[in-house]
Amino acid sequence: TVDYLKSYYDEDVDLNHIYRYMDKLYNTQMELAQQISVEHTRKIFGGKIGLMFYDVTTLYFETAQTDVIREPGFSKDGKTAESQVVLGLLVSEGGYPLSYSLFNGSQYEGFTMIPMIDDFKQRFTLGDDFVVVADSGLMNKNNVKL
């Protein structure tokens, strides 16, 4: 972003200003951005979201420090010493983003799907007539029942 602003608008912007703005955006506008994305997706698919894809990844931090959400856990990258978070992502057919959630770094990935889907259903009045496609590693007994 800083390079883009400099290249195309000849504006010098401090990277820390961008970071502070992103914090403000997250705290005040994230729900609105998500609402716009869901409504746009509904419009594209005739008012209904019937197919969703769910996936999870881990994001690690170059530190051993932990907090409420950053904790050591199973790392796909083999980074066992670093703290991490688990990121769940829900997208629609065509890859349109619907929702994401951050989970505690020690959370088993298979236990993230139902809370994520339930939260999405409640916030956007989805109903029960939909299909969720996910990696086989996420398909524990409870997730299959969903």
* Span 44-70, average pLDDT: 86
Instruction: Give yes or no for a contact between 44 and 94, defined as CB atoms under 8 angstroms apart.
Output: yes
- Return the domain boundaries, the chain: 2-145
Convert the pLDDT of each residue in 78-88 to its tens digit. 776 678 888 99
Q: What is the 3-state secondary structure (H, E, C) of 90-111?
A: EEEHHHCEEEEEEEECCCCHHH
**Alpha carbons 144 and 14: distance in angstroms, whole number:** 48
Convert the pLDDT of each residue in 111-145 to its tens digit. 999 999 999 999 888 888 899 999 888 877 777 77
